[in-house]
């Protein structure tokens, strides 16, 4: 949520279909920014660019010679211009992160050895460390901004992954001011989610809360510890059993070791913390499912519900473990539309068609909910709704037609089944007497509207706990703190 709120003030590149379009969007921001001001953006995808190549720092230099520019692709890659490299003191002689690390990183270089502007994995830190850190006021503003956008789309509950102490404090400040208009499950940043220095303090940060999963009130509570042990499919870093297309030696990567994965799961499990584990590749999904199953076998605890996030390509073994131990899959289904073409580029259409197999999950009896992972792609649940029922990419390609689900199933996976993942189906997720009055009245019937109209759905009325936060029916949108 904080990243999403912050991202709304950045250059939005999701719709860019050429390097010239990226340059135009950056140039627009340069014209309204003072020289030297940092320009941040996100959402570019080389697989959607007509140029059929990665953008580079020289492209950005043409429109931003005097402003440092940093453009995130997704989690594992960014593009920086020459001014940003200079500010970060990065150049030809800057080494890549240590090659002996499982999750190292790479500075892409040209034939002379100079950085092209593309930084992968841990190499991103070389640039990110130079970007100004948001102030406490900035973080609180991002929360309020995100609340307004979520409410406008009828959203009343979210989970925010990868939080550090200052961000948790910001949430409590916004709550105290009466401005938190979305229910938030706070996910503490765990292994694979921060810098090496931040990872050294994980156990201390988790223990210092003095609580466990579920502590808090219905508006703001501690949810899980967030892990990120592999990468993504589009940038070919998700851990696979079989290699990526045209890269016979690349099966992805561990962010941390298999042994550490099992140890970290046990550490959280023994302290009463549920885990939300990013897992995209089939090999990583199976490993995480095995780690969860081992923890449940060793120490059963009905208060804990470990989950798998993204859960792109489950193996038969993983499906069986997820069914037996009731391990939910949280499918970030908007990715299929917005990033689906990059999946095809990395895996080929046959393998890519099996990503996020919603029908298979349901038929196997695996707990399932739908999610977004914004701001990697859109937070809009109606784009996700469209993706779940059509499985179409932005270019109209259908990936895995047999994995489509019905509109009624998609609606349930975004509401009641999502509430069940966080042990909250007794208080929300359905319009039932005695539950919280979290209600959205939409501007169209998503069960009957034409497919192409689904993504444009907005809330005509949004209520949280009976409090009206959006009211277009009377021509008003409630302000924060009212």
- Residue 441 CB neighbour total at 10 angstroms: 14
HEC secondary structure over 35-52: CCCCEEEECCCHHHCCCC
CA–CA dist 276, 263 (Å, integer): 15
Give the helix/strand (H/E) hosting 12: strand 11-12
Dmax (CA) for the chain in angstroms is 68
The fold adopted by the segment(s) 2-128 is: Diaminopimelate Epimerase; Chain A, domain 1 (3.10.310)
Question: Kindly report the CA angle at 407 between 223 and 444, in degrees rounded to 5?
Answer: 95
Q: Do domains 2-128 and 136-434 have the same CATH topology?
A: no
HEC secondary structure over 351-373: HHCCCCCHHHHHHHCCCEEECCC
Whether domain 136-434 has CATH 3.20.20.140: yes
The full set of domain ranges for the chain reads 2-128, 136-434
Residues in the chain: 482
Sign of CA dihedral 466, 470, 472, 474: positive
DSSP 298-320: HS--TT---EEEE--S--HHHHH
DSSP 437: -
Beta strands in 228-352 (DSSP E): 274-279, 307-310, 329-331
- Residue 66 CB neighbour total at 10 angstroms: 12
pTM here is 0.93
List beta partners, residue 441.
Answer: 461
On the question of a cis peptide bond just before residue 375, with omega within 30 degrees of 0, the verdict is yes
Query: Would you write out the chain's pLDDT as a tens digit for each of its 482 residues?
Result: 999 899 899 999 999 999 999 999 999 999 999 999 999 999 999 999 999 999 999 999 999 999 999 999 977 899 999 999 999 999 999 999 886 566 678 999 999 999 999 999 889 999 999 999 999 999 999 999 999 999 999 999 999 998 999 999 999 999 999 999 999 999 999 998 877 778 788 999 999 888 889 899 999 999 999 999 999 999 999 999 999 999 999 999 999 999 999 999 999 999 999 999 999 999 999 999 999 999 999 999 999 999 999 999 999 999 999 999 999 999 999 999 999 999 999 999 999 999 999 999 999 999 999 999 999 999 999 999 999 999 999 999 999 999 999 999 999 999 999 999 999 999 999 999 999 999 999 999 999 999 999 999 999 999 999 999 999 988 655 543 33
CA–CA dist 136, 111 (Å, integer): 43
Residue located via tokens 């940060």: 205
């Amino acid at each position: 949520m904080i990243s999403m709120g912050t991202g709304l003030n950045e250059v939005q590149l999701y719709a860019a279909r050429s390097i010239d379009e990226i340059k135009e969007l950056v140039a627009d921001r340069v014209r309204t920014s003072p020289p030297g001001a940092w320009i941040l953006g996100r959402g570019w995808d080389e697989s959607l660019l007509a140029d059929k190549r990665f953008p580079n720092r020289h492209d950005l230099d043409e429109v931003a010679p005097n402003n440092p520019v940093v453009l995130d692709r997704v989690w594992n890659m960014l593009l920086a211009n020459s001014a940003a490299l200079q500010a970060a003191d990065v150049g030809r002689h800057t080494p890549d992160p240590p090659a002996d690390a499982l999750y190292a990183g790479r500075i892409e270089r040209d034939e002379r050895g100079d950085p092209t502007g593309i930084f992968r994995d841990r190499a991103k830190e070389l640039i990110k460390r130079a970007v100004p850190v948001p102030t406490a006021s900035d973080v609180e503003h991002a929360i309020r901004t995100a609340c307004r956008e979520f409410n406008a789309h009828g959203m009343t509950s979210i989970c925010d992954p990868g939080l550090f102490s200052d961000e948790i404090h910001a949430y409590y400040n916004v709550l105290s001011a009466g401005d938190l208009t979305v229910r938030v499950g706070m996910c503490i940043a765990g292994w694979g989610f921060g810098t090496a220095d931040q990872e050294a303090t994980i156990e201390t940060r988790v223990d210092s809360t003095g609580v466990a999963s579920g502590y808090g009130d219905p508006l703001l509570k501690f949810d899980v510890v967030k892990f990120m042990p592999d990468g993504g499919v589009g940038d070919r870093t998700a851990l696979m059993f079989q290699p990526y297309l045209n890269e016979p030696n690349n099966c992805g990567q561990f962010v941390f070791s298999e042994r550490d994965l099992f140890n970290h799961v046990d550490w959280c499990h023994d302290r009463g913390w549920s885990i939300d584990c990013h897992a995209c590749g089939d090999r990583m999904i199976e490993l995480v499912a095995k780690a969860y199953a081992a923890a449940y076998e060793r120490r059963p605890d009905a208060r804990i519900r470990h989950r798998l996030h993204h859960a792109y390509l489950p193996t038969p073994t993983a499906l069986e473990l997820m069914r037996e131990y009731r391990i939910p899959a949280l499918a970030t289904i908007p990715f299929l539309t917005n990033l689906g073409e990059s999946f095809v580029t990395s895996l080929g259409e046959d393998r890519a068609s099996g990503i996020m197999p919603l029908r298979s999950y349901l038929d196997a009896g695996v707990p399932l909910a739908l999610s977004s992972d914004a701001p990697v792609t859109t937070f809009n649940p109606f784009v996700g709704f469209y993706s779940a029922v059509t499985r179409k990419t932005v270019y109209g390609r259908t990936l895995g037609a047999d994995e489509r689900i019905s509109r009624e199933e998609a609606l349930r996976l975004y509401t009641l089944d999502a509430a069940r993942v966080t042990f909250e189906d007794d208080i929300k997720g359905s319009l039932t007497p005695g539950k919280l009055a979290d209600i959205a009245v939409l501007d169209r019937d998503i069960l009957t509207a034409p497919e192409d109209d689904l993504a444009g759905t907005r809330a005509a009325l949004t209520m949280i706990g009976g409090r009206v936060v959006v009211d277009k029916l009377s021509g008003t949108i409630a302000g924060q703190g009212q």
